[in-house]
Amino acid sequence: MKKILLFTLLFLSSFAVTAQEECKTNEVTNEDGTIVKSTTDYMMYEKVFAGTSQFIFFSLSNSDGVPMLNFQMLFKSKEFPKAYCLDKASRIYIQLNNGKIVTLISALDEQCAGLVYDAAEKNNIRVLTGVFLFTMGSLEDLEKFPISFIRIKYSNETVDYPVKKELNSETMSKKYYPESYFINSLKCIK
């Protein structure tokens, strides 16, 4: 009886691990015939305080063999949220748990957060999107080691974002695991 119970537990736990690592991707064929494979948006950072919310989402893309990080930041507030911009000099620095720092380089010209008003909730929302390229050798490190810290160099300032092992999103009512995002997601765009 103990063996049957043990076997059942092992089977269910292996099924749960497999389900967590499943890739959810979209493929789009451009007019020139190139195929772009992208993962879904994944919450990396959430801050909800005094009626103001800030979120950072990552997704990965592969266009003709070139892997890219898609970045999106959202600010939501009754006041006017600060405007952030990205430019050619913008960078994302990712510190790994082994102490190494991986640098991602902005692929787009200047882009600033747009302002949208949500009349239903009476919120001002700023949305900033960007695309970043991986540097040589960075993918191998990101596939092996969890991340502990993200620093983003915007065109007007540099901001640090601590990375949690487990993020229980208040807004999305869902659990995210930002520390192991690259370990779990990079295989999805290969």
Structural domain including 153 reads: 2-189
| Contacts (Cβ under 8 Å, ≥6 apart) of 129 | 70, 71, 72, 73, 111
How many domains are contained in the chain? 1
- Rounded to whole angstroms, how far apart are CA atoms 29 and 37? 9
Chain-centroid distance, C-alpha 118: 24
Q: Which residues of the chain have pLDDT under 70?
A: 1-21
Query: Nearest-CA neighbor of 135 among 111, 109, 107?
Result: 107
Tokens 């063996």 identify what position?
3
Contact 150, 163 (CB under 8 A): yes
Nearest-angstrom CA–CA distance, 169 and 172: 5
CA distance 139 to 148: 16
pTM summary value: 0.84
The set of residues, in sequence order, having a beta carbon less than 8 Å from that of 27 and lying 6+ positions away, is 35, 36, 37, 38
Nearest-angstrom CA–CA distance, 66 and 63: 5
- How far apart are the C-alpha atoms of 3 and 46, rounded to whole Å? 43
What local confidence, expressed as pLDDT, does residue 61 receive? Answer: 95
What pLDDT shows up at residue 36?
Answer: 83
Q: What is the pLDDT of residue 21?
A: 52
Predicted pLDDT at 35: 75
How high is the pLDDT of residue 9? 34
Which pLDDT value is given to residue 65? 87
What tokens were used for 148?
A: 């502990």
